[in-house]
Structure 1
Amino acid sequence: MSQPNSAKSAGVTLLTAAVAAVTAGLCCIGPLLYLLFGISAAGFAGLAKLEFLRIPMIVISLGLLARGFWRLYISKRLWCTGRLTLGQMRLLYWLALPFMLLILFYPTVVGWFYEVFE
């Protein structure tokens, strides 16, 4: 794999991990919107049918995040692209990681938050 394709592959991995993280949380979006904005969750009742996707998408997302970490820190392949340096990709990875983990686990985080601060 050439260097530009290798960099493109790492970017696609991060993007796919983000999509999987969002998909994993789709089943719980109704209650979250109701809590955040006070809107009626009746329109989002159909999203509860997507609960069966949550665990597989969490596994896929965490696997892709691990692959991105491996590619950025452990892989011996050279990182060379005309747009982003290795340091910039590492920075983007660490900026995206907390956001994606929060999206993945927000039902648990919201429950913990309300339990602690109640």
Structure 2
Amino acid sequence: MSQNESNLPMVGGIIAAIGAGVCCVGPLVLLLLGISGSWISNLSAFEPYRPVFILVVVLLLGYAGWKIYRPIEECEPDSACAIPVTRHRRKVTFWLTTASAIILITSNYWILWFV
């Protein structure tokens, strides 16, 4: 398995998390940058798709976690998952990605404190 193939679930998970949080985080970021206008309310068009994005996040990050935490015996002898340093780096990246996804997914609940 190549390096890019192993990162696809995490990259897909963070992209789906951005999709899930775009309805809430997007307008806030634009307002913080000084961009305003009535068109910002159109960014809530993604709100009906939020549950789908969240499901995709959970599935992709679940798959990535399964691939990262599988026993070392299941790895090909010369593959990256058989190298302890690489496995540790991937675990750190996985948890940072998961934390970012949780922040984006839950943003519509805590972002109200900042507006």
Q: Same fold (TM over 0.5)?
A: yes
- Structure 1: segments with no counterpart, 5+ residues: none
Identity %: 22
Cα separation, 1, equivalents of 2:38 and 2:95: 36
1:77 aligned to which of 74, 81, 87: 74
- Structure 2: segments with no counterpart, 5+ residues: none
Higher relative contact order (CA 8 A, sep 6+): 2
Bigger shift: residues 102-111 or 19-28 = 102-111
- The answer (yes or no) to whether the contact 1:33–1:41 under 8 Å persists in 2 is no
Query: How do 1:18-97 and structure 2 match up within 5 A?
Result: 18-28=14-24, 29-30=26-27, 32-33=28-29, 36=32, 39-74=35-70, 77-78=74-75, 80-81=79-80, 85-97=86-98
Q: RMSD value over aligned CA atoms?
A: 2.6
Encode CA deviations 1:12-63: one digit per residue, 9 max, x unaligned.
Answer: 1100001000011122222x23664565252312111111111100110011
Cα separation, 2, equivalents of 1:43 and 1:67: 37
- What TM-score results when the alignment is normalised by the length of structure 1? 0.74
